[in-house]
Structure 1
Amino acid sequence: MTELSSGGRQVSIPRIPAHEAVVHGSSHVRALDGIRGVAILLVLIYHLGNSVGGEFGLPRIFRLAAFGWVGVDLFFVLSGFLITGILYDSKSHSHFFKNFYMRRALRIFPLYFSALIFLLLLRTAWPSLGLYGQASDGWLWVYLANVVIAVQGFGAFGLMDHFWSLAIEEQFYLMWPFVVYALDRRGAMRVALAMCLAAPLLRTMLAVTTDNSPAIYVLSPMRMDSLAMGALLSLAIRGPDAVDPGRLVRPALWTVVSATVVVAAIVLATRDLSAHSWAMETFGLSAVSMIGVSLIVLSLASPVKRFFEHGVLRWFGKYSYGLYVWHPILWMIIFHSNWARSLRGSNETEAMLISLAAAIGLLLVFVMGSWHLMESQFLKLKVRFQ
């Protein structure tokens, strides 16, 4: 029980288990912040490993970092889970669409468009940087980076290439609320299940008929299974005939084991840790998403949640959006610009350590600054749209 003060009286209210808090939207579930923290750490390790390994000739040491791309898939699954819960729980609200889109805009747009303004200023002040890519920045402003990359390939936006995943999420936000609003719970679950099945089939068809790996990886229809798996779980644990997350723990454990075996078998067979082998692009991505949705179950209704509730993971989870937006922009300049290379001395180890310190330090300055000076201020306005 928890005691709250109300008008001088002590009022006792029951504690709500973590999984019930998620279902009823009555509390903040710390373990989910931890999952978000794991996701961003994987992405940071991936890019840091690629930058340090590639720039300073240490590919073997940083080889395992190449598997950090799975962090993006974990973000997708978690986003599908949380967004669907918000949408389902607010279906009866008279301002359903207005509240949802305003709250999303307050969370996403300030940082996203600030980064684009920073890019505009950077282009103006430093036109010779050489890390911008050839595609028009206008596509970034309308969340179509993934479509352009599917046509032109990675590198189209240079240090802004990572915005492809933000484009996928935004495209999901534009479509999914209408599905949840228009259909009952079971109807929405059927749509989510169809998306889970359709995505690997679409990826396989494209892999068989073309050699366009970027399109397979970044187009929304190809990646909708990860978002839909999270959505399906969110709907399954809601409603009058909801499934108790505790009953899903054993299936989740088996899913983690079996999907991990599948992913490991793909890596061993292809000797490729990237997401771009044929097997990984087709059904491997679905296996990774199955691991992600199983981790959500375990974080809600098993002792595994204690791991995800660790303060360090939750700290990274809290600042994950800023970390994701800023790190490639800053790190490409620090590690891969001709300007940065010209400043390095002849001692490679010393240059690497200085570059690492600069990369981490500058990222923290940008992330903490953007959070405290801008993002948190906009988030205070979300209370107006409940």
Structure 2
Amino acid sequence: MSHPRQGATIDWLQALRGFAAVFVVVTHAGWTLSQPAHKELAWKYFAHGALGVDLFFVISGFIMYLTTQNCDGSRRYVADFGIKRFARIWPLFLVVSLIYLGMAWMKAGEFPAAYFAEVVSQLVFRPVSAKASEFFLLPVDVAWTLCFEAYFYVVIAISLFSKKWRWWIVAALLAPGLVLYPLLQQEWNLSFYHQPAVSGSHYLALLVNPMVWEFVFGLFAGWLYTRDWSQPKRPLAIAMLLAASIAFATVPETHTPTLYGPTIENGGLTVFAIFLLIALASKTIQLPVARWLVWLGTISYSIYLTHKLGFMAAAQIMSWLSIHNANALDWMEFVVYLVCGVCTGALFHYAVEAPLSKRVRNGLMNWTDKRKKPEFSGSGATPT
């Protein structure tokens, strides 16, 4: 099998991560546009940047498939997987949550006990509200996606205890929420906002939400990408890239703004198709990727989680500027919000995410090394 060079594979994947993060920031910054014509433009084009969330989910499934191919079923492998996933997302999430708690404390003038309980809830990835239509009402509002991410990691981690049957285990764990429950309810609704009958159960609301299908799409993309027979000839690879470009360009016509879910109208299916076409084409063609796009992919998690903190700085900057032209003010505000969102993500990545994640990861791995039992010291490969 002729695989593309690993570096090239990482580059195009990192670039897509960067695009996903910036798309989300563009969507949120677009809501600052106040002129009627600009509002219409934001709704027609910028609002579709919310599909960056769907892209993140597909990429997550894809990475989970690729990085666990060498699973040996050992407890050590599962422990290393869990540590790396935890260290990847939780330390920065904790810091940002504490910042939000501190701001709420300052605003209230006293310790906000109810808000603190909500922060604790989100730190264990439990939706504060079971209603998807409310984005689970987490204090860090964009963190609703992390609840799904954590659930998916748990499913994958459980499956890693078996080398031979792990994908059957994944299917068995996901099927009750994605297949059995809709069959029993006799209702198939693939919109993220659909409120299931188990809305009173916060964790179960995640299990039956159709957004989980997008992780499955990513797993399927990973499986297909690793098949010997899935490498296209160069003309077909070029046609795939062209098709992906056309699908991306037509998103404003096929996708309803601000919707999520695994369909064309909700966007998830289109995002999956674009991703799969690019992934398969990359096996034949070395995709040229600018270094700044790879950089954006590297800091994408921080951008996603902290860009609204950057918006606070942007609001202060705009209050200092004296621009009287309404059109110029509108676009200046949009640009300032966009730049501040990305810059804040970069700041948090280098000052908090990268060093803290490394420290937590190394600390936990050293701790498990000291506590390991003889049967725990298998020589299986470790996920990356």
Provide the TM-score with structure 1 as the length reference: 0.70
The answer to whether structure 1 residue 370 and structure 2 residue 351 are counterparts is: no
**1:188 corresponds to which of 167, 185, 190:** 167
Which residue of structure 2 lines up, in the alignment, with residue 232 of structure 1?
220
Which residue of structure 2 lines up, in the alignment, with residue 288 of structure 1?
271
**Structure 2 gap ranges (5+):** 197-204, 366-381
Matching residue's letter, 2:256: D
- Do 2:71 and 2:160's aligned partners in 1 also have CA atoms closer than 8 Å? no
What does residue range 35-54 of structure 1 map to in structure 2 within 5 Å? 35-49=16-30, 51-53=31-33
Which residue of structure 1 lines up, in the alignment, with residue 293 of structure 2?
313
Distance in 2 (CA, whole Å) between partners of 1:94 and 1:211 is 37
- Cα gap change, 1:350/1:253 in structure 2, threshold over 3 Å: closer, same or farther? closer
Q: Which has the higher contact order (CA 8 A, sep 6+)?
A: 2
The answer to whether structure 1 residue 171 and structure 2 residue 151 are counterparts is: yes
**Structure 1 gap ranges (5+):** 1-15
Residue-by-residue CA offset, 1:86-107 (whole Å, 9 max, x unaligned): 2232435551121111112222
Distance in 2 (CA, whole Å) between partners of 1:171 and 1:334 is 34
**1:275 corresponds to which of 259, 265, 268:** 259
Residue-by-residue CA offset, 1:334-370 (whole Å, 9 max, x unaligned): 55x9x97799875434543553454345435532332
Q: What is the CA distance between 1:65 and its match in structure 2?
A: 0.9
Matching residue's letter, 2:151: Q
- Do 1:78 and 1:293's aligned partners in 2 also have CA atoms closer than 8 Å? no
Residue-by-residue CA offset, 1:141-192 (whole Å, 9 max, x unaligned): 21123x725266248346x22111111111100111222432526x617955
Counting matched residue pairs gives 346
Distance in 1 (CA, whole Å) between partners of 2:362 and 2:238 is 35
Q: What is the CA distance between 1:122 and its match in structure 2?
A: 0.9
Q: RMSD of the alignment, in Å?
A: 4.6
Q: What is the CA distance between 1:199 and its match in structure 2?
A: 4.5
- Do 1:200 and 1:225's aligned partners in 2 also have CA atoms closer than 8 Å? no
Which residue of structure 1 lines up, in the alignment, with residue 206 of structure 2?
219
Matching residue's letter, 2:231: G
- Cα gap change, 1:230/1:82 in structure 2, threshold over 3 Å: closer, same or farther? same
What does residue range 322-361 of structure 1 map to in structure 2 within 5 Å? 322-331=302-311, 334=314, 347-349=325-327, 351-352=329-330, 355-356=333-334, 358-361=336-339
- Structure 1 window deviating more from structure 2 (79-88 vs 174-183): it is 174-183
Provide the TM-score with structure 2 as the length reference: 0.71
Distance in 2 (CA, whole Å) between partners of 1:120 and 1:275 is 29
**2:107 corresponds to which of 111, 123, 126:** 126
Identity %: 17
Which residue of structure 1 lines up, in the alignment, with residue 121 of structure 2?
139
Residue-by-residue CA offset, 1:102-156 (whole Å, 9 max, x unaligned): 112222112111110110111112349xxxx9893332121123x7252662483
